[in-house]
Every structure is written in structure tokens, then in C-alpha cells.
Structure 1
């Protein structure tokens, strides 16, 4: 029988704190090594270039002990995925050599079907001591459209193959039936195969390194060090809470669709409560699971309270999230979740905006705040095989007092990922990259201006290709602060060979053909402070860089060249 308790009763006082520090730092290094191993062996550019993945080492209970590099919102999935495994399997059914897979939000997958979680228990002398886990976005997992994300989906059944926390390996033996099901339910079996085995390789590295650590220091010391790290996270969170004035803060925000999203925050010395019950009913594919909403709240909570504290399970113990089943922030089966990220990023934004109203100077102006998921595919012009690219986009961040906003960055919610270089895009995708530039459109001016979004042109090189996308902040721009102007919006401009143009924000399977140009435009962040107070040197630098026309400089800043 697997025993999740320690062999003997001990306290952290029985151990050397220096050894604890070594073990805790080693856990972070292990998670990072898992990340690198997966990146270097993956097949898809969205993993090895964009870095749309995350890794983690978790304790025996499935709480995050150490988070590796990668998307913060993905790291928060992994503890919830392990708890999904515990709901389905008893301890006696979890064995050394097991590897679990889950992409189903209703079985611990949390996000959407494209994001596959892999997890393996780590045993030492028959004792479960830890878990290693990773998550990565796969380009295609079946469903009614290539890329598996459809703005038209109304049920999860339309979005691809569902893997509900099943065993890929059982006691080290490959479950070939599950592998076959995965390979046959994708339009890109070679890519899926490569990305899957890269994830497995990452787990094996993590398991090996954890066991090396346990062999060196002993299982009792290892578990005590993990518990101590959790306690440190909790202490840091509670210390931060004590420095925040108690109160109740509400905020509501209109969305591009006209819907109103609402949040109520209640803060005291012991608890940070986020109430999202008063929100629209679930609809289409823009819904989040209850666990996914919790992740968005966790990210905002940590960013506001103590960004430098350990991002482990202990840190989030004072946090409470309240949702209502059947709403966009707590989807019920069989609701679709293809564009879950656009829902979660709204929660992240709203919480920070609610706090910004009461704690000036803590939160910058608004950023482009969308994943801007862009999917293009079809027959490759050189060999005719089907290709599909899935790209999140980068954009402009908001300015704050004393600094212009950063340009060409992923949103704080997404984080730590990159754009795909033009050279790689042209080599791997069936597209030509005619332009990669920062967004020169007006928006975000101020004493300190918002960061610039991007203006990228993809030229289609074959007929019968398709375009799917999901962009929010396409109507309502990022907000300015303290007199700074609002930023600009996110959209795609489809330029046809006949000279016609079409502006898109949410669309599925739009046909594109040889010579059509897909122009990706992401927003400039909001400005901070009265534009009239911007320095002449900064204005002239913006004109020189092409970010500002002389006419616009005169209109907004009163500049005379």
C-alpha cells in the first residue's frame, strides 16, 4: 500500500535550514531542467520557439513545490491536474512507472483540449514522495476545425479528443491504445507524436533528478524541506495581507461584446476573497473552468501582494475564490472552452483595476491584454502536406510614472513566452513573412507613453488555406492613467488580392488563398500622465523611430518641429 505519510514524526526544527535551502533551490533547478529538455526535443514551433509550456515539481499531495520556466497560467494548472488524478484513482492504483495524461477541463485538464498535461508520481522505496508534471499546447487534437479552436463551438465534443486523466504508462508499460487514440485524432500526427514524447522525456529527467536529491539527503529531509518551503510561501502571503488596508472593493468592466463583467474583492488580515458570482452565463467557446478562473485570480493576487515570494501551494492558502456554476467563469459540462484564455485574462485585468482605484501607483496603465490566438493552416505550398500554426501574439504594455511601457511583450497573464522568428515561420509554415514591425498607430500617448504593439504581415502562399482567430480588446482599448490616453486595439486585417480589406477579431475557418495578406495588429498600451508634459527629447525620439507622425505630435503634444 502506498503511504503518503512520513515514516516518523518530525518537525522542521530537526533539520538544518541550510540543507533546506539547498533542496528548495534544487527543486527549482529540476523544474527548469525539465523545461529545457522538453523545449529542445519538441516538434512544434509553438513549444520550442514560443515556449507555450510549463513544468513543475509538486509534493506528494499534488501541491506545487517548485515551478519551472514557462507560462505562469500553465504552472497553476499542474496542481489542479494532480488533484484530478487523485479524484479518479485511489492511492493503491497509483504505481511507480505510471504516467498520466489529461487535457479535459472536466477531469483536471483545466484549460482547453489543446493543452496536454503529463504527470508522473515519484516513488522512493515504495513511498510516494513527489510528482513531476508538465503542460504544453499541441497544434491540433482533432475537433471540427483544424487547430481545434473554434469560435463557433458550443460543446466540448466539437473541440477535439478528450483525455480524462488516463494512464499513458502503467508501471512502466506503454498503454498503446491511448497512444493510438491520440495519433488518429489529429491532423498532424507527426507533430503530436514528437511533442508527446518530448513531454515524456521531460518527466523522466524530473523523476531522475528528484530521486538523486532524495538519495543524497534522505526522504524525511526532502519532505521536510518541501513542507518548510510551503510554510515560507504562506508566511510571505499572510505578511503581505497584513500590510494591505482591509476593505471591500468592487469593479465592473464592459467587454467588446457589450457584456459587463464584475468582481468584488474583500480583503482582511486573514483572507483575500474574490467573488465572481455576478457574471454572464456561459456561452459559446469563451468560457473558463472553475479551476482556470482560480489560476487567473492566483496570478493577480501574487502580482499585487508579493511578486518575489515562492510561487508554491503555500502562498495561495489565504486566497478564496467564489464562482457561480453555469457562468463564463465556472463553465458546466458540456460547455466549450476553446477560447478560455480570453475569459481568464479579463479576470486578471479586473482584479488589478479594482485594486488600482484604491492603491494609486501600484498598477500601470492598461496593456493589450489578449492572447490574440492566431491559427493558420492548409496545404503547404512546397510539399502539399497539411500544416497548422497556432500563435499567441505580443503587444504593448501600459506606461507607469517615470517610464514608457515595454513594447512587443506577452501579457502579464500569459508571460515568459516569445514570438516565432520570421526565419522559423517561413521555414516551418506555409507562409511568407513580409513585415515584422512595431505598431505605428496612434494610441497610448502621455507624459510616459504606452508600449507599442506589433504589425506583422503574413502572405499566404497556397490556395485553400484557412484562418481562425480569437482577439479581445478589439473594441475597447487599454486604459490610460492620470491623464494618459487610452491605447489602441487588437485585430487582424485581411487584405485580399482584389484590394478588398476585412477587419476581424473572432472568426473560424476563414478561407485565404495565394497572395492574401494576414495583417496581425496588436494594441499599444495605455499612457500615463498628461501628454503636454512629455519631454521634447522623447517626442522627437518617437518621431525618429516612426512611432509618431509630426502631425500627431502637434495634435497631442503641441510639438513644433
Structure 2
């Protein structure tokens, strides 16, 4: 290939990324659920005709993007190319063939150029409700957790499956929001398809084959070159998490070989009887993300880079088999990057950040009028983030969603969805672990039902009995805490009640520190005191 051809291909590669970014932004603009519209809990991508991911949108979470990279092949296998037509859209929320739990809807749309299948567009988003027990860890099997949609056609030749729409309306608490999100997902893929056709017309390409081959070959070679620079060997790490009613141990062994990086989760706790289990497809997604953050953070994420990372596990909490309950798989799944990074820190001493809060502190609120009062019912979902671990050379980021990358949801948007009041949302002083570089701070959040209302909430919290650990001599971050404003302690997981007149108080964990605290620069200490990050007391 000549130099001018390589430049041309690179320009088209960048153009393809802009296509999927517009695809994702369409979903952001049209979604009904605040978790999608405000927090960016979604993903979007384009695939070749064999289901290999060529490009992903910048907007999106690793848990969605990397599971979707595998999920598209499941769609191809079950629908089959012979039954695919222009105008089709396919859908599932199967946790083992989608993104790990029922609340994520994955849609795949075949992209036809004339009558020839040239690729696929796929997108994923978290919807506010899928029926069942609601978003929480209390289920004993996936059958209790909501409606299951096998891989099927949402639309065929442009005609929407109205039977599916009626079934959805009969099984969810917020049918207008949920069905609205289904149509937003389908529209998102349609925008990607139209932009791709315009691009292929403009650059005079019949399909994605030559461009796809260029993308995958360059990515594979670049990622392999980075792996070649790493030390060879196997390193192990383990960590404890709160679990539901007893602690959960996570264990990983990371092997760096000449032809790739392997992660094995043998030694992790058995499958839980509660809905904190993780299907392997989601465990893979976050294990690969952790490796990529270290090995090749600047190399585009696609099928070729992911193919060099192999993840395995016997059946356990990180490889839960059907029909295990998996509703809040993110709580344990978001710990996987810290687990893997802890092993890589032994291979690359001084180069890996400390542990952080990890799992989002999601809270699903089911609010209703108090007894004898008039008012409004609503389902409200909030995404909240603790502190990140300190980095080699930099303090940890405060109230930042790592590894998921979702945005903070504005209080105004949250309050608009239901009769609740967020009385306080501020950084939590003294929560970042001490070190040469300080861990990021958590948050303090106070939520109350609006006047005349009460609510039940689903707690999906961790790092309360097992706070984020520091690295290279750094101290642990502050553990989390869940209570009412009268001091009553609440459980970190499960559905619980907040009566009228009381407030729910969440103290989110801070990130671990990095390096010896005695080596922290004096001006950094002064800044921490002036800004109120440290008060000299206990968080």
C-alpha cells in the first residue's frame, strides 16, 4: 500500500469514528431515561459483515462497549444472515448474550448497501425498569429480576413488532420511558447507517471490507508491539468486597506472554445466591479495559485489540451461569479493573494507580405518596461516584466514575423525574487516602422524599467494610457509609425504606493514596487544607 493510500485509509478511519459518535449522540439527544440522557450510560459501534467491531463511539462505558463487541456475533448466529433484511432491527437484554443484566437493552441493525449486507450498527442503553423486583440485588434467580427478551426482531423490513411492544407495556412500571428508549436505540442505529452510506458514496467504496482490514491489521500490530515491551510472567492479586450478606473474595492471575495477555479468575468466591453475580461477558469487558488502560490506552478499541486479551474463569461469582441472579452485576464487575491492575502493579512497579471506589453508588428510588396523602408515584435512578485512586505523580480524581466513565447526573434532572429532594451533594472531606499523592474524595449526598411522600430505595453500594487500598505505601481511602439523617445505619445492599420526614444520607468512599504520605509536598498539604479537602479530623 502506498503512503497516499495509507493516509486515505487513516482519514476514512477517523471519518468512521465520527459516524459512530453521531450515532451515540443521537441516543443521548433522544433517550427518555435520565441514566442515558444525562449520565451517558450507553454505547455505540460499527461492525463489519462478520460482526467484528471496527470502531466505537467515544461516548460510552467499557462495560457496554466491550460486551457489545462480543454480543453482535450472538445476534448473527441466532438471526442468521439468511433472515436479515434491509429495515430490520434486532434486540435482546439476555445477560449472557448481551451486557450482563436485564436492564441493558442491546439493539443491532444490519447495514445493507442495496441488497448486500456490508456491516452492522449496534447500541446499548440502560433503561429505568424491566419489571420484576426492580433494579436491585434481592432476586434469587434471573427469573425474578424482570422480563427477559431473547434475541429477536424488534422490526422486520421497517415494521415494528407490536406484540413485543404490548408485552413490554404489560410488564414494566414506566412503559412510556422504556418503550421510548427502545425507539431511541433503533433511531440511533438508523442514523449510523445513513451516515455510513453517505460516507461510502463519497469515498467511492462498495463496502467496509478494505477499510475494515486496514483498521484491524494496524490495530493488531500496534497492540502486539506494546505487549512485546512488557515483562513476561504471571502475577496474582486478590481483594475482598462487601458482598451481600457475607464478604466476597475476588482473585486474578495475569499472565503476559509474547502473543497476548491472559487473565484467569480461578480462586474467586462461588456464585452468590443474591443478584451481585457477574456473567463472564461482563467480567471480560472490564478485565480487557484494565489491561488496555495500561498496555495501549491510545490505540483504538476494536476487535483486533480485544482479541489479544484472553479472559477465563471457572463458574464462580465472576462467571455466573444461567439462571443466577445478576441484576447488580456492576457492583462486583466494577471491581475487576482494580483487581487486574493490582496484579499488573507487581509487573510494572510504580506505574499503576491505587484502588478507587470502583462500583458506582447507584440508587434506585421508588417514591409514592405517604399514607393518606395525595401525590405522585415515580421510579428514579441516580448514578453517583466515589473517589478514584491516586496516580503515580498525580492526586486521584474526586467523585469520578472509574472504571465506568458515566457522567454525574444533574440534581435538577433527577428531581424532575420524581417527587424527591436532593438536599446535599458535596465532596466528602478527609475521605481521600493519604499518600505522596492523595486519593480522590468521595461525596456526601442527602436525599429525601418530597413533602407528603415516602420512598423505598434499592441500595447497590460497596467499599463499606473493604475500603479502597493504597499503593506503594499510600493509605486506604475512607470506607462508605449508608444511614438515615437520625443516625440509623442501613444496609449497603437491598431494598429499604425511607419514611416521610427522614433523609437518606450516603457517604461515598474515597480513593486510596499513592506513595509514602511523609513525602507529600508541603504546598499540596496546604492546598488540601485551604480547599477543605482535609480538616485534620475523621471523615
Give the structure 1 partner of residue 86 of structure 2: 96
User: SS at 1:57's partner residue?
Assistant: strand
Matches within 5 A, 1:207-286: 207-220=193-206, 222-256=208-242, 257-283=246-272, 284-286=274-276
Distance 2:313 2:431 in 1: 38
Quote the Cα distance in structure 1 between the aligned partners of 2:398 and 2:442.
6
Q: Which residue does 2:377 correspond to in 1?
A: 386
Q: Are 1:503 and 2:494 counterparts?
A: no
Instruction: Provide the C-alpha distance between the structure 2 equivalents of 1:82 and 1:187, rounded to a whole number of angstroms.
Output: 29
Q: CA deviation at 1:13?
A: 6.9
CA shift for structure 1 position 150 = 2.7
Say whether residues 1:465 and 2:481 are aligned partners: no
Q: Which runs of structure 2 are paired with 1:154-553 in the superposition (5 Å)?
A: 154-220=140-206, 222-256=208-242, 257-283=246-272, 284-324=274-314, 326-379=315-368, 384-411=375-402, 413-415=403-405, 417-461=406-450, 462-495=452-485, 499-508=486-495, 510-550=496-536
Aligned residues: 531
- Give the secondary structure class of the aligned counterpart of 1:502: coil
Evaluate the alpha carbon distance shift between residue 170 and residue 13 of structure 1 in structure 2; reply closer, same or farther with a 3 A threshold. farther
The Cα RMSD (Å) is 2.0
- With over 3 angstroms needed to count, the CA separation of the structure-2 counterparts of 1:137 and 1:428, relative to structure 1, is same
Deviations 1:468-493 (A, max 9, x none): 11112121111112322110123322
Evaluate the alpha carbon distance shift between residue 385 and residue 200 of structure 1 in structure 2; reply closer, same or farther with a 3 A threshold: farther
The one-character-per-residue Cα deviations of 1:331-369 (angstroms, maximum 9, x if unpaired) are 211111111112222222111000102311221111111
Compute the TM-score of the two structures, normalised by the length of structure 2: 0.94
Residues 431-483 of structure 1 deviation map (CA, whole Å, 9 limit, x = unaligned): 11111110114451122211111111112124341111111212111111232
Shift of 1:113: 0.5
Show CA shifts across 1:237-282 (max 9, x none). Answer: 1111110111111122223243322211221111211112332221
Query: How big is the shift at 1:185?
Result: 1.3
| Alignment of 1:76 onto 2:66 | yes
Distance 2:4 2:94 in 1: 41
Determine helix, strand or coil for the equivalent of 2:213: helix
Evaluate the alpha carbon distance shift between residue 238 and residue 130 of structure 1 in structure 2; reply closer, same or farther with a 3 A threshold: same
Q: Aligned partners of 1:512, 1:423: CA distance in 2, in Å?
A: 21
Could you tell which deviates more after superposition, 435-444 or 301-310? Answer: 435-444
Map residues 26-65 of structure 1 onto 2, 5 A cutoff.
26-65=15-54
Residue 9 (structure 2) pairs with residue 20 (structure 1): yes
| Cα distance between partner residues in 2 of 1:227 and 1:112 | 33
C-alpha distance 442-312 of structure 1, shift in aligned 2 (>3 A): closer
SS of alignment partner, residue 458 of structure 1: strand
- Secondary structure of the 1:501 match is coil
Residue 547 (structure 1) shift: 2.1
CA contact (8 A) 2:431 2:441 kept: no
CA contact 2:231–2:347 (8 Å) conserved in 1: no
Contact 1:286 1:337 in 2 (8 A): yes
* Displacement after TM superposition at 1:153 (Å): 0.8
User: Runs of 5+ in structure 2 lacking a partner?
Assistant: none
Partner of 1:136: 125
Whole-angstrom CA distance in 1 between matches of 2:325 and 2:465: 24
Shift of 1:428: 2.4
Inter-CA distance 61–367: structure 2 relative to 1 (3 Å threshold): same
- Say whether the 8 Å CA contact 2:338–2:356 is kept in structure 1: no
Contact 1:237 1:316 in 2 (8 A): no
3-state SS in 2 of match to 1:194: helix
Query: Any conservation in 2 of the 1:463–1:512 contact (CA below 8 Å)?
Result: no
1:192-221 C-alpha deviation (Å, 9 max, x unpaired) = 122222112211111101111222234446
Q: 1:13 to 1:536 in 2, by over 3 A?
A: closer
Question: 1:366-424, CA deviations, whole angstroms, 9 ceiling, x for partnerless residues?
Answer: 1111122211122279983421122221121111333211111101x201x21121222
TM-score normalised by the chain length of structure 1: 0.90
Deviation by residue 1:53-82 (Cα, 9 ceiling, x = unmatched): 111111111121111111122111222221
1:101–1:551 Cα change, 3 Å = closer
Contact (CA 8 Å) 2:94, 2:148: kept in 1 or not? yes
| CA offsets 1:510-537 (integer angstroms, 9 cap, x no match) | 1222221111221111112222232333
Contact 1:380 1:429 in 2 (8 A): no
Contact 1:377 1:430 in 2 (8 A): no
Cα distance, 1:223–1:46 mapped onto 2, change above 3 Å:
same
